[in-house]
Amino acid sequence: MIHWIDSADDPRLDPYRHVADPAWIRDRHLFVAEGRLVVERLLALTRFDVHSILLNRAAHASLGEAVSRAAAPVLVCADASHLAAVTGYNFHRGCLALVTRPPSLAPAELFSCRRILALESVGNPDNIGGLFRTAAALGVDGVLLDPRSGDPFYRKAIRTSMGAALRVPFARAEEWRATLAAFRDRGFKVIALTPSVTAVDLSGVPPLAPDDRVMVMVGAEGPGLDPASLEEADVRVRISIDEAVDSLNVVVAAGIALDRLRSGSSTGSFRL
């Protein structure tokens, strides 16, 4: 149902006065979806309970057909200035949704996947979002996060992922090394990306077969993967780059590795 709002003091806007407060959002088991494309993709999914949607006139005109089918209340501010007054910032393209956070998946619920991207200590929301977008584009069907990695349902991460964080299942492992070992016991081959000169060059690793169960593990920019995590890997892989550059952004590195492993562009004879 569409509700036209003509005052920034309207009590129906009260939940949106806290959208810039992650603790308030988290304590109420919500997350924020921001931007027209993200909200449109959110509404196309069935797994989420949308609390409400807040739009300006332009966003309402753009998303008219999608929001007209929404089961949640749709709040449209007649005056665009009311949105910034309520939320405290000029949010992306005049479109926000408050969504109930679904129950967290246990790592074991990803055992049925074939391709997993594992993130260790990746805290930057732009990198989290970029990695989910890359994962969705390159055949990954599950993401595993360690306790120090960022929240895929943080609004900036969702926006950067272009909604992929809403589609790709993810789980967080509190016992990181033990969880990696559990996936290996289930038949996953763990490929760890590292700039170490002792690692196998990516060009020497063959592409994945359709039935291969593989986890590609990446770490935070700078420190990279913890030595203990590297010990859980079946193979440590590096991407050769110009020696004038010290490293690649983690999203770029993951994209190169996932694409080469699935595309058949590697030529070496190394076997996992």
* 71-112 tens-digit pLDDT: 999 999 888 777 778 887 666 578 999 999 999 999 999 999
Residues 192 and 212 in one domain: yes
| Residue 72 included in any domain | yes
20-40: burial string, b at 16+ Cβ within 10 Å, e else:
eeeeebeeeebbbbbbbebbb
| Residue 142 included in any domain | yes
Determine if the pTM surpasses 0.85.
Answer: yes
DSSP 105: B
| Greater pLDDT, 267 or 28 | 28
Which phi and psi (to 5°) does residue 238 adopt? -120, 155
| Residue 271 included in any domain | no
CA distance 48 to 64: 20
User: For the chain, what is the domain count?
Assistant: 2
- Residue 58 sits in a domain whose CATH number is 3.30.1330.30
Residues 113 and 63 in one domain: no
Residues 188 and 69 in one domain: no
Of 100, 124, 157, the one marking the end of a domain is 100
Res 272 pLDDT > 60: no
- pLDDT of 130-171, one tens digit each? 999 999 999 999 999 999 999 999 999 999 999 999 999 999
Residues 26 and 148 in one domain: no
| Residue 165 included in any domain | yes
Structural domain for 65, as ranges: 2-100
Residues 167 and 95 in one domain: no
